[in-house]
Amino acid sequence: MDLLKELEGCRTILITGHIRPDGDCIGSVMGTYLYLKNALKDAVIVPMIEKPASEFDFITDIADIRGDFQTDISRFDAFIGLDSSSSDRYGDALRFFDDAGKRIIIDHHISNDGFGDVSVVDPKASSTCELLFGLFEERFIDINVAEALYVGVIHDTGVLRYSNVTPETLVVTSKLISYGFDYPRIIDETFYEKTRIQNEMLGRALVESILFMDGKCIVSKIDRETMEFYGATPHDLEGIVNQLKYTKGVEVAIFMYELDDQSYKVSLRSGGNVDVAKIAKFYNGGGHVRAAGFTMSGSFHDVVNNLSDSIAMQLEGA
Ligand code: AMP
Ligand code: MN
Ligand code: MN
């Protein structure tokens, strides 16, 4: 896809990503925003996602994000949806989807069936940011664009450690860091550094986790009471599921936190023998083979029982 060609004649452009934005979502929205500002001088471009966590404040012009989802524009010539496998992931930005002149979808989730007027979905790309770098014209990429895209690559690959890293990921990363931003600082401050609350939540989740299916599965949960007691937000729980997965012998890790009474946000991580995207899709969620998520109602035990069956079926078939 030639992104700039697709946007020819578009005077108003909305850029959005998914609810509870992660590093790849924030990086891809900001990278695209900064790139299009360089390339299209006359267009009005609106980046719109929930307000990113404060550790991302260093990204140039991040304050331009309309975290309140408000804008004077009622209809956009182009709607660019990033890092989201289905339109229900856009949160309040979804109200601009149907009326938009053109819907452009750029994503790397295997569960994305390409629901735009123009869609680029590449499940082999480590991150939406990696995919975007290949779509951007070099002459409009500057250090600020490169820095934003780098954030997404780093976050979705666990700092270039996960199996979604390909030779292409490293080529792209190498080109990105050649722009000269302070990448060790980005890694430390946005990926490894944790607040006291985040460490407390991680500690509790690890201590209270339960192994089952002969140690092949691990599950842990944080309920609303605990979150309220510590003053923790969903953002403070990111990364816990990955740490659970690092338990030796574990094939599938499940981490869930209570959104509402009897409603859980569920995160799944797999070593590769179990396709968790398949399981997540069954419960109206999505993701990748080794990392997926969904929202489910029911008690903790309902969720675990349902998931155990799905996981056992795949493990037995393996
Ligand atoms: P998480 O467990 O939230 O870190 O998400 C793991 C992967 O699954 C990410 O790529 C998410 O975009 C995707 N994902 C998580 N929750 C959902 C959901 N409710 N619907 C679709 N995809 C999801
Ligand atoms: Mn994401
Ligand atoms: Mn992503």
Question: What's the domain range around 298?
Answer: 196-317
For residue 189, the 8-state DSSP code is: I
Residues, beta carbon < 5 Å, ion ligand 3? 24, 83, 127-128, 156
Same domain, 184 and 234: no
What would the pLDDT profile of 178-225 be if each residue is shown by its tens digit? 999 999 999 999 999 999 999 999 999 999 999 999 999 999 999 999
Same domain, 104 and 251: no
Q: Give pLDDT, residue 260.
A: 86
What would the pLDDT profile of 226-277 be if each residue is shown by its tens digit? 999 999 999 999 999 999 999 999 999 999 999 988 899 999 999 999 999 9
Q: What atom in ligand 1 is closest to the CA of residue 284? A: 20
Same domain, 142 and 286: no
pLDDT at position 318 over 70? no
Question: 62 by DSSP, 3-state: which?
Answer: helix
Q: What's the CATH code of the domain at 60?
A: 3.90.1640.10
Same domain, 174 and 263: no
**Mutation choice for ligand 1 from 83, 86, 109, CB with most ligand atoms inside 8 A:** 109
CA 149 – CA 82 distance, rounded (Å): 12
CA 13 – CA 226 distance, rounded (Å): 41
Q: What's the CATH code of the domain at 249?
A: 3.10.310.30
Strand 78-82, strand 102-107: pairing: parallel
Same domain, 121 and 221: no
What would the pLDDT profile of 39-75 be if each residue is shown by its tens digit? 999 999 999 999 999 999 999 999 999 999 999 999 9
Both tokens of 105, joined, read: 């979808």
Nearest to 35 by CA among 132, 110, 141, 152: 141
> How far is the centre of ligand 2, averaged over its atoms, from the C-alpha of 108 (Å)?
9
> How far is the centre of ligand 3, averaged over its atoms, from the C-alpha of 31 (Å)?
13
Same domain, 153 and 295: no
Same domain, 179 and 35: yes
Report the predicted TM-score, pTM, of the whole model to 2 decimal places. 0.92
Both tokens of 169, joined, read: 């990921």
Residue that finishes a domain, picked among 138, 162, 192: 192
Residues, beta carbon < 5 Å, ion ligand 2? 22, 24-25, 83
Same domain, 127 and 249: no
What would the pLDDT profile of 144-159 be if each residue is shown by its tens digit? 999 999 999 999 999 9
CA 44 – CA 170 distance, rounded (Å): 33
Residues in the chain: 318
Same domain, 202 and 175: no
Which residue's entry shows tokens 């850029």? 15
**For atom 6 of ligand 1, which residue has the closest CA?**
292
Domain count, the chain: 2
Ligand 1 neighbour 14 (Cβ under 6 A): no
Average pLDDT over residues 311-318: 86
Beta carbons of 180 and 142 less than 8 angstroms apart: no
Same domain, 24 and 147: yes
Q: Give pLDDT, residue 31.
A: 99
Residue that finishes a domain, picked among 192, 218, 241: 192
Same domain, 226 and 150: no
Same domain, 221 and 141: no
Q: How many degrees, rounded to 5, is the angle at CA 170 between CA 168 and CA 172?
A: 70
As a whole number of Å, the end-to-end CA separation of the chain is 37
Residue that finishes a domain, picked among 192, 220, 250: 192
Beta carbons of 76 and 104 less than 8 angstroms apart: no
pLDDT at position 30 over 90? yes
**Mutation choice for ligand 1 from 85, 94, 297, CB with most ligand atoms inside 8 A:** 85
